[in-house]
């Protein structure tokens, strides 16, 4: 009868119990191994280069390039990464074939497309390089610049004539007027703009594009801080459009894609002051310009 007893080791434990425990250890270790790898792969998605502006700050949510609706609402205190445009640029280069066929509110653009372009404007236009969407060499812009002062303006020792002569742009984009409209005569400012465009045209063989100036938000209009109203802006844009029709320049109505249902600057596109642009607004602008001019 002793022969029927199960075989035991010197501790008196049956092999089945040992096997069971070993299997348990094996299963647990396998689960640990895979969990460890999954966690590690997630952690290693973003690794910083040795010398860098480390980006752990609260960035804006990158609007997916396929998201062709208005950008999502953002708090007044927001950080917009300049890394994103580069990524968007890469992805946009693939989607430029869809020019003219996709939604007008696309944020896709190809930075390289603007390599031979020059943007002339005021503080709003400075954002193109402050955000890093374009190189500073592609922009001639300054806080406070107006149609009447642009020709004589000296930005870090460079005039617009110098800039055009040195960079020989193929396309010139001009967006000016916001700074003076609240304080001056709309007709006179629009006339200055036409004169400025004619001067630019004489200086360059580039194709000149004139952008309608952006609207202001309802809040900015009501605050009356800059005496800017959408009625004045609309009047100015109409006059500029009419004025430059006598020139070689082409009018591009960027204003119309920035407005909300009430004809004011859509809040999501506007900086805290209701006049300047958020980062996504520049993407929208460059995407619009690429489609309109390619």
Partner 1 sequence: MNKISKSIIAGILAASAALSLTACGNNTPASSTAESSAQGEQQTNAKSPAEITEKIMQDIEFPSMAEITSDRLANYYEIDAQTVDSFSAYICGSGAYPDEIAVFKLKSSGDAEAAKAALEKRVESQTKTFENYTPNEMYKIDGKNIVTNGSYIALIISADNKTATQLFEQMTK
Q: Shortest Cβ distance from residue 238 to partner 1 (Å)?
A: 26
- Which residue from 15, 72, 91, 144 is in contact with partner 1, where contact means CB under 8 A? 144
Q: From the centroid of its chain, how far is CA 271?
A: 13
- Cα 169 to the center of its chain, rounded Å: 22
Task: List the Cα angle 109/276/247 in 5-degree steps.
Answer: 70
Give me Rg for the CA atoms of the chain.
30
CA distance 242 to 251: 9
Q: Return the closest-CA partner of residue 120 out of 63, 66, 177, 47.
A: 177
Using rule CB under 8 A, residue 45 touches partner 1:
no
Instruction: Using CB under 8 A, pick the residue from 15, 18, 66, 72 that binds partner 1.
Output: 18
Q: Quick one: which of 62, 67, 68, 81 contacts partner 1 (CB under 8 A)?
A: 81
**Looking at 6-14, 87-95, 112-120, 255-263, which segment touches partner 1 (CB under 8 A)?**
6-14
- Considering only CA atoms, which of 209, 204, 215 is closest in space to residue 177? 215
Per CB under 8 A, 44 contacts partner 1? no
How many residues sit in the footprint of partner 1 (CB under 8 A)? Answer: 57
DSSP H or E stretch at residue 120: strand 117-121
Residue 7 or 51: which CB sits closer to partner 1? 51
Q: Is residue 55 part of the contact set for partner 1 (CB under 8 A)?
A: yes
Instruction: Note whether 24 binds partner 1 by CB under 8 A.
Output: yes
Q: Which of 118, 174, 275, 286 contacts partner 1 by CB under 8 A?
A: 275
At its nearest, how many Å lie between partner 1 and the CB of residue 212? 19
Could you give the CA distance from residue 139 to residue 1 in angstroms, rounded to a whole number?
99
Cα separations in angstroms, 258 against 170, 231, 269, 294: 26, 15, 7, 21
| Binding residues vs partner 1 (CB under 8 A) | 11-13, 17-18, 21, 24-25, 28-29, 32-33, 35-36, 39-40, 43, 49, 51-59, 74, 76-83, 123-127, 130-132, 136, 141-144, 271-273, 275-279
């Amino acid at each position: 009868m002793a022969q029927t007893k199960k075989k035991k080791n010197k501790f008196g434990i049956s092999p089945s119990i040992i096997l069971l425990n070993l299997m348990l250890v094996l299963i647990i270790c396998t689960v640990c191994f895979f969990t460890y790898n999954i966690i590690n792969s997630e952690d290693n998605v973003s690794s910083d280069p040795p010398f860098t502006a480390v980006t752990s700050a609260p960035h804006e949510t990158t609007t997916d390039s396929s998201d062709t609706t208005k950008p999502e609402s953002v708090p007044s205190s927001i950080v917009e990464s300049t890394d994103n445009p580069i990524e968007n640029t890469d992805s946009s280069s693939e989607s430029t074939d869809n020019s003219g066929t996709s939604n007008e509110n696309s944020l896709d653009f190809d930075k390289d497309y603007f390599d031979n372009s020059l943007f002339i404007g005021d503080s709003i236009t400075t954002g193109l390089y402050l955000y890093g969407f374009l190189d500073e060499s592609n922009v001639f812009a300054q806080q406070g610049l107006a149609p009447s002062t642009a020709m004589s303006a000296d930005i870090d020792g460079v005039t617009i004539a110098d800039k055009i002569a040195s960079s020989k742009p193929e396309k010139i984009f001009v967006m000016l007027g916001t700074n003076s409209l609240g304080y001056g005569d709309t007709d006179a400012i629009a006339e200055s703009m036409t004169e400025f465009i004619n001067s630019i045209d004489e200086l360059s063989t580039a194709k000149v594009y004139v952008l309608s100036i952006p609207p202001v938000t309802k809040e900015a209009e009501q605050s009356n801080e800059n005496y800017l109203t959408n009625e004045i802006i609309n009047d100015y844009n109409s006059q500029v459009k009419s004025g430059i029709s006598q020139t070689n320049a082409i009018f591009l109505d960027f204003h119309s894609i920035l407005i909300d249902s009430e004809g004011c600057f859509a809040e999501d596109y506007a900086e805290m002051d209701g006049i300047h642009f958020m980062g996504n607004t520049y993407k929208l602008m460059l995407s619009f310009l690429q489609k309109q001019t390619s």
